[in-house]
Structure 1
Amino acid sequence: MTADAADLAPLARALISVSDKTGLLDFAKALAERGVELLSTGGTAKMLREAGLKVRDVADITGFPEMMDGRVKTLHPKVHGGLLALRDDDAHVAAMQDHGIEPIDLLVVNLYPFEATVAKGADYGTCIENIDIGGPAMIRAAAKNHAHVAVVIDPEDYPKLLDDMDQHGGKTCPKFRRKLAQRAYSRTAAYDAAVSTWLASAIGDPAPRRRAFAGTLAQTLRYGENPHQSAAFYTDGSNRPGVATAKQWQGKELSYNNINDTDAAFELVAEFDPAEGPACAIIKHANPCGVARGATLLDAYRAAYDCDRISAFGGIVALNRPLDAATAEEIARIFTEVVIAPDADDFAKAVFAAKKNLRLLTTEGLPDPKSPGLAFRQVAGGFLVQDRDNGAVIQSDLKVVTKRAPTSEELNDLLFAWKVAKHVKSNAIVYVKGGATVGIGAGQMSRLDSTRIAARKSADMAEALGLSEPTVKGAVVASDAFFPFADGLLTAAEAGATAVIQPGGSMRDDEVIAAADEAGLAMVFTGQRHFRH
């Protein structure tokens, strides 16, 4: 849209009141150099004056001092009238003249750092005090009147505004003001969403009458799951270590599927405390194709890779410890889309430097698998909201239900398999031996089919490795939900499994337990299910 002279809005007066003062002085000086009068409040006004700029206090304009610890300073007709008045409406212009209201052509406001305050774990009262009132009110007023007023809520838009003024003789064009207005309303919506979500949690309301989610654009993606779908990546401000907060050291931009798979991989490997040893997870299409612990990171990677070498090609590798050169060299032997780890040494980065298509991400930490949070999914006409699956079991939670109890070695593998099963699409079956997966069956409509597929993959891998028998022989098996019939459990036993971990709770538990006893299996119930759809 080409703006004619009538659509251009003069910019003679700006109200600036910001908590984030990034780039403020240079911006304010540039406005002053362009003949813009500066109005301001509190700390912002003080900062501008100390820099030698001429500033009028809003309190001098309204005739009221800032009061109540700054809670009341801009909520006044002379402020909102200056923002909301239609310059081309005679009645509005007359009202401004009658009441001594001066037009405000530019509003520069960013809000109290509520999200950051919550993220720091501040107490209830401190969070309440960081809820901005005057800022959102002014932003919404200026955005509504974008036919005449420009509103800037992000420092990154400072140079863009100056450029727009320079292109239009000190005025702003309607297309740019509309874009600024959209960004302004998005910001106030996100702010209110953050406040309402926090307050629901603070008062213990798991299902508030209205639920809002918001995010900040991190990346416009080439496409979504498929090339005909447009997509973008947004961050939620939680700073949970992972793909959203990671630093990318090399490689092309992550795709929609890369981001989804990398998140799945890192959340899985975070189940394994690095203090208890190195761990590696390899993911393909959001499902693990190999997970292992090892004496070294290299050992863990090799064991995870040996679970399903075919699926690992073009996969995502997640590590629970900083990446070293030896592990990087081994990973680089096959095509890998993404490697994500808490950190990487310079030698590892140098190894990957020759792999231009490989993306290396570091996060400076692991997400806490036990931390609370929300997960949501869109359905036709609405969306589902639930707590993040932060369930976990320890040895004391397990109930031995068979005549034979698992050995200590089996117990370790059972708990390992249970952690992996939590991250496998239902119906999930996971075989583990010696701290490494040896067969994974994911996403089947029948639990029996998942059991068979996992065993078959183990047999195929054993053949590829030149082993005399399938790696599932002598393994333990985890099922993310109960066995509704004994057939799946017996199939696992026939494949060579010696011990089973499952939630229990089936109407036929007695039949399944009896079948396990007859097969000589040890079986424990967790009392907890891990469906992942």
Structure 2
Amino acid sequence: MAVVSKKIPAPDKVKIRTALLSVSDKSGIVELAKALSKEGVRLLSTGGTHKSIAAAGIAVTDVSDITGFPEIMDGRVKTLHPRVHGGLLAIRDDTEHQAAMKEHGIEGIDLVVVNLYPFEDVRAAGGDYPTTVENIDIGGPAMIRASAKNHAYVTILTDPADYPALLDQLSADEGQTAYAFRQLMAAKAFARTAAYDAMISNWFAEALEIVTPRHRVIGGVLREEMRYGENPHQTAAFYVTGDNRPGVSTATLLQGKQLSYNNINDTDAAYELVAEFSPANGPACAIIKHANPCGVATGSSLVEAYKRALACDSVSAFGGIIALNSLLDAETAEEIVKLFTEVIIAPAVSDEARAIIARKPNLRLLSVGALPDPRTPGLTAKTVSGGLLVQSRDNAMVDDLELKVVTKRAPTAQELIDMKFAFRVAKHVKSNAVVYAKNGQTVGIGAGQMSRVDSARIAAIKAEDAAKAMGLAEPLTRGSAVASEAFLPFADGLLSAIAAGATAVIQPGGSMRDEEVIAAANEHDVAMVFTGVRHFRH
């Protein structure tokens, strides 16, 4: 049954007379305590926060002196007491609440400054189960929610970034806060506890291997507001979830303008793709446009990998995203600045390369420090009208799959290498996807077509255009391997690839017409392998 409000109007201004400070992150807390003390505010505190404030010579009362009860159970119980929560939840203009406060010796608390145990940090650091559980805050969220609910009378702060705004309010208005400010801080407080609880519930689901929990919440912390979304009439913001997967969310922006919504989306796609190529196997480069690769290659050096990736489709690469799997050096940087590029992302950047990239001040340069592990499990999500689609990350790797030769002719050693390269790239191309590869280089990419045969044809056309640009007599698809990220439903897509010059095909298999497709491959002496795994990407 719903609780009915007494409809007592909230006051516009509330004088801050008593404040409770209890923080895990002590950034700026001593300075805040000094400023509040100068305003004549009585300070209450707990544990380590109390010690920090007292050590600075600031008058502060321990909460246990208010409750008449010491902290117990290693600090698990300290603020969960009626004299604390009564002081937070009392409606000051309600005569019944006033009487209860008087009867039980409860003093009103006008300001609460709380931030939470570092659960996110402990989880990200790989803390064991008992340590992670111990860092689930209980008293903090309880005080935050109580204060935020009673924002008509109580100001709640959960973020050190809001300390200056509070002090500005007090300074400008004789130690009072305005109702609009208290509302805003309450909204932030509930968002904070919601994100915190989301992180905890998702950790439990992961730890207990609960694949589809009854309730799924994904929380994030605002990293930055975007100028706009995919288009100028759309608003957007970037939130980070705190799982610390190396990538655009953990990168350092070394130079350049703020990343746009599209930049972030495309840069994430680029870095996830290039991470498929371990630096232990040599340098690799991926060039992305609108979340689709327009060129991917390996090389004996990073600059060679970049040049070979660019050669696949130098027209589409204009204004694209460049992702590298190893340190960006000066030689590669010199080549990259010859082309208009939106973003470069790499695990590291040499000082010489930074100086070269600095010639293009608008070019965004990101250093991550590490590559994401393609095999690491995790979740991805997207919204639909009225819902959220959540799935496990596509962490299948072609090197881990059992490939089945289904044609009379088995692939040669080089064809098998090219097949795996093409299939690795096809995983990151929007469906329907067809990728031609030869000698560690994409030579034709067809993406996102409604018909798979059209993807095969577009990739072949791209290859022909690239050959003309390089002055070659024939496209590099001659003698290439071709990958389809999903099964070939008809022989027509295969025949288009054969017409382009492909001699080997890798695909998941599983079509009702597999035998028809295999027969066509045998007829043209083309080797074909099935992976048994598809990589739809929408």
- Separation in structure 2 between the aligned mates of residue 441 and residue 126 of structure 1, nearest angstrom: 49
In structure 1, the residue matched to 2:96 is 91
On the 8 A contact 2:423/2:483 being kept in 1, the answer is yes
In structure 2, the residue matched to 1:387 is 392
2:13 aligned to 2, 8, 14, which one? 8
On the 8 A contact 1:417/1:437 being kept in 2, the answer is yes
**What are the residue-to-residue correspondences of 1:117-156 with 2, within 5 Å?**
117-156=122-161
Pairing 1:531–2:528 present: no
- Point out the more displaced range, 229-238 or 404-413: 404-413
In structure 2, the residue matched to 1:348 is 353
- Separation in structure 2 between the aligned mates of residue 373 and residue 158 of structure 1, nearest angstrom: 36
The residue type equivalent to 1:147 in the other structure is A
In structure 2, the residue matched to 1:219 is 224
On the 8 A contact 2:222/2:240 being kept in 1, the answer is yes
In structure 1, the residue matched to 2:53 is 48
Pairing 1:514–2:523 present: no
| CA offset digits 1:391-422 (Å, max 9, x no partner) | 11217621111121111111111111111000
| CA offset digits 1:278-301 (Å, max 9, x no partner) | 000000000000000001110000
- Separation in structure 1 between the aligned mates of residue 531 and residue 332 of structure 2, nearest angstrom: 35
Shift in CA distance, 184/466, structure 1 to aligned 2, threshold 3 Å: same
Aligned-residue offset at 1:524: 1.1
**What are the residue-to-residue correspondences of 1:7-86 with 2, within 5 Å?**
7-86=12-91
- Separation in structure 1 between the aligned mates of residue 385 and residue 102 of structure 2, nearest angstrom: 52
The residue type equivalent to 1:465 in the other structure is M
Pairing 1:287–2:292 present: yes
- Point out the more displaced range, 507-516 or 494-503: 507-516
In structure 2, the residue matched to 1:273 is 278
On the 8 A contact 2:345/2:365 being kept in 1, the answer is yes
Pairing 1:399–2:387 present: no
The residue type equivalent to 1:467 in the other structure is L
On the 8 A contact 1:395/1:415 being kept in 2, the answer is no
Pairing 1:189–2:189 present: no
- Point out the more displaced range, 21-30 or 391-400: 391-400
Aligned-residue offset at 1:90: 2.2
On the 8 A contact 2:435/2:484 being kept in 1, the answer is yes
The residue type equivalent to 1:428 in the other structure is A
In structure 1, the residue matched to 2:333 is 328
SS at match of 1:309: coil
In structure 1, the residue matched to 2:7 is none
Pairing 1:478–2:483 present: yes
| CA offset digits 1:499-533 (Å, max 9, x no partner) | 11111111111221121111111111111100001
The residue type equivalent to 2:89 in the other structure is L
1:457 aligned to 459, 462, 467, which one? 462
**What are the residue-to-residue correspondences of 1:213-252 with 2, within 5 Å?**
213-252=218-257
On the 8 A contact 2:505/2:528 being kept in 1, the answer is yes
SS at match of 1:378: strand
Aligned-residue offset at 1:247: 0.9
The residue type equivalent to 1:468 in the other structure is A
Pairing 1:438–2:443 present: yes
SS at match of 1:48: helix
- Separation in structure 2 between the aligned mates of residue 399 and residue 25 of structure 1, nearest angstrom: 66
- Separation in structure 1 between the aligned mates of residue 371 and residue 17 of structure 2, nearest angstrom: 50
1:166 aligned to 168, 171, 178, which one? 171
- Point out the more displaced range, 289-298 or 519-528: 519-528
The residue type equivalent to 1:90 in the other structure is T
The residue type equivalent to 1:153 in the other structure is T
The residue type equivalent to 2:36 in the other structure is L
- Point out the more displaced range, 36-45 or 450-459: 36-45
Aligned-residue offset at 1:6: 5.3
The residue type equivalent to 2:53 in the other structure is L
- Point out the more displaced range, 9-18 or 83-92: 83-92
In structure 1, the residue matched to 2:115 is 110
On the 8 A contact 1:490/1:519 being kept in 2, the answer is no
Aligned-residue offset at 1:49: 1.6
Aligned-residue offset at 1:356: 2.0
Aligned-residue offset at 1:91: 2.1
TM-score normalised by L of structure 2 = 0.97
- Separation in structure 2 between the aligned mates of residue 204 and residue 296 of structure 1, nearest angstrom: 42
SS at match of 1:513: helix
Aligned-residue offset at 1:468: 0.4
The residue type equivalent to 2:372 in the other structure is P
- Separation in structure 2 between the aligned mates of residue 291 and residue 241 of structure 1, nearest angstrom: 20
On the 8 A contact 2:333/2:357 being kept in 1, the answer is yes
Aligned-residue offset at 1:23: 1.5
On the 8 A contact 2:11/2:179 being kept in 1, the answer is no
- Separation in structure 2 between the aligned mates of residue 12 and residue 34 of structure 1, nearest angstrom: 9
SS at match of 1:501: strand
**What are the residue-to-residue correspondences of 1:190-205 with 2, within 5 Å?**
190-205=195-210
Shift in CA distance, 395/94, structure 1 to aligned 2, threshold 3 Å: closer
- Separation in structure 1 between the aligned mates of residue 331 and residue 530 of structure 2, nearest angstrom: 40
SS at match of 2:423: helix
SS at match of 1:264: helix
SS at match of 1:108: strand
Q: Number of residue pairs matched?
A: 529
- Separation in structure 2 between the aligned mates of residue 396 and residue 84 of structure 1, nearest angstrom: 59
- Separation in structure 1 between the aligned mates of residue 524 and residue 169 of structure 2, nearest angstrom: 77
> Could you list the runs of 5+ residues in structure 1 that have no partner in the other structure?
none
1:358 aligned to 347, 363, 375, which one? 363
The residue type equivalent to 1:157 in the other structure is D
Aligned-residue offset at 1:262: 0.6
Aligned-residue offset at 1:225: 0.7
- Separation in structure 1 between the aligned mates of residue 241 and residue 352 of structure 2, nearest angstrom: 33
Pairing 1:312–2:338 present: no
Q: Could you say what the CA RMSD is over the residues aligned between the two structures, in angstroms?
A: 1.2
- Point out the more displaced range, 420-429 or 347-356: 347-356
- Separation in structure 2 between the aligned mates of residue 343 and residue 32 of structure 1, nearest angstrom: 47
On the 8 A contact 2:16/2:176 being kept in 1, the answer is yes
| CA offset digits 1:429-467 (Å, max 9, x no partner) | 000011000000000011111001101110111011110
Aligned-residue offset at 1:257: 0.7
